[in-house]
Amino acid sequence: MKYNKKEIKVVDINKDCQFLKDLNTSKNFGGTTMGLWNLAVCVGQVKLFSKGIKPSRHWRLKDVKNYFGISGNTEAILTKLNHINKIVKGQI
């Protein structure tokens, strides 16, 4: 399954980010691609971080921003990740 980069551009992400490259990898992560797996994990981690809980000792929001090619504060990142999730699932 290929994903259209134009649809995701609505969120204003870097078109050369690792997330877009990982969307087209093989399905070795619980029957899904690496990009979708990381999206699901990162949404949960950013939700925790927005409530003041650091998901793990070495976790940084900067890593999430770089992987998805997005910018903003914690709440903006969470909104953008949820929007990307809806786009990928086909709800938008």
pLDDT tens digits, residue range 62-92?
999 999 999 989 999 999 999 988 888 876 6
Residue 29's identity, in one-letter code, is: F
Question: Of 48, 47, 65, which Cα lies nearest the Cα of 11?
Answer: 65
Q: Which alpha helices (H) appear in 33-73, and where do they start and end?
A: 34-50, 61-68
Indicate the residue type of 68: F
Residues pairing with 29 in the sheet: 32
For the chain, the residue count is 92
- pTM, two decimals, is 0.80
